[in-house]
Structure 1
Amino acid sequence: MMGTENASKDFALANGTGNFEIPIWRKYILSVQEASDYFHIGYKKLRKIIDENPNADFILWNGTRPQIKRKLFEKYIDEFLSAI
């Protein structure tokens, strides 16, 4: 089981509480705030993109809270946004 321990350390960073946190660049789904930080897009601008595209493939709705599918949003940016 030694390999499993090393793999989990590669996949997660200790956050000081003994728990592990997945690095943002490894996450499949990001909160709107995380996506704003990761993509360097303003929070309000990102909310506007979500409001204009509520049924887009890159959005996962958790109740009324949108979450961003990182890789699909990367494709969306590459294909449809030339300037923000």
Structure 2
Amino acid sequence: MAEEAEEIGIWAKDKFCLTIEEASRYFGIGEKLRKLVNSNPDPGFVIQNGVKIPIKRQRFEQFFDKLSSI
């Protein structure tokens, strides 16, 4: 499991956008990310692309740093 997390960290840190699944694994928060996106109408870290929900990695990191709980 730790090895998988390291692999995710290596490629994900260089990507501008992550899918919900990639971001969930990268930040270690599971499917709570989907609920977080749905409960924040304009969080500033989401790009609406039809049914796909790309997450702006750096913007989400800034948002995530300010949270005290999920």
Larger strand proportion of the pair = 1
The total of aligned residue pairs comes to: 61
Q: Identify the residue that residue 18 of structure 2 maps to in structure 1.
A: 30
Alpha-carbon deviations, 1:23-64, whole Å to 9, x = none?
A: 111001000000000000012x11110101132210011112
Alpha-carbon RMSD: 1.4
TM-score, normalised via structure 2 length: 0.79
Q: Which amino acid aligns with 2:56?
A: K
TM-score, normalised via structure 1 length: 0.67
Q: Identify the residue that residue 55 of structure 2 maps to in structure 1.
A: 68
- Structure 2 unaligned residues grouped into runs of 5+: 1-9
- Structure 1 unaligned residues grouped into runs of 5+: 1-21
| Paired residues for 1:26-65 under 5 Å | 26-43=14-31, 45-65=32-52
Q: Which amino acid aligns with 2:34?
A: R
Q: Which runs of 4+ in 1 moved over 3 A?
A: none
Alpha-carbon distance between aligned partners in 1 of 2:40 and 2:51, rounded to the nearest angstrom: 14
Query: Greater CA radius of gyration, 1 or 2?
Result: 1
Q: Identify the residue that residue 82 of structure 1 maps to in structure 2.
A: 68
